[in-house]
Structure 1
C-alpha cells in the first residue's frame, strides 16, 4: 500500500517561496541533502523529525494560509424533486 506523506511538500514549497530560497539554500539551512528535500517536495518521503524541528522557526514566520485554500470545494447537492405520480 502506498504511503502518503501528510502535506509535507506544501510546507516546504511555502517556505521556499515565501523566503525565496533555492533548494540548495534550504537544504544547507536544514542540514539535509538536496535529494531528501526533492523527495519530500515530490511526496515520495515524509518530513523527518529533525527536518520538522529545523523548519519550525521558518514556519512560524509564514503568513497564515487562507482557510478556503486549505479545504477542497464541496460539491453542491442537486435539489431532489419528487417524481410525478402516474395515474393507474
Structure 2
C-alpha cells in the first residue's frame, strides 16, 4: 500500500479524494442502476401493468440499498487501512 497521504496539503488531499472516489465504484454504480430500474418498474406497474407484483420493485430497491451500504463499508475499510500508521 502506498504511504499515508498528508491531508493538510491541499494537493495531496485532492488526489486522495479522487483516489477514494474510485474505491468500490462498480458496486456504487450497480446500486444506483438497480434503484433506477426499481423506480422505472414501479412506474410501469402503476401506470401500465398492475399485474406486476409490487414485491419486485421493492426487492430491487432493497438490493440497491445493500449495494450502496456495501460500497460505503468497502470505502471506509480502505480509508482506515490507508490511514493506519506505517510500521
The TM-score, its normalising length taken from structure 2, stands at 0.28
Bigger relative CO (Cα 8 Å, ≥ 6 apart): 2
Relative to its length, the structure with more helix (as a share) is 2
The TM-score, its normalising length taken from structure 1, stands at 0.28
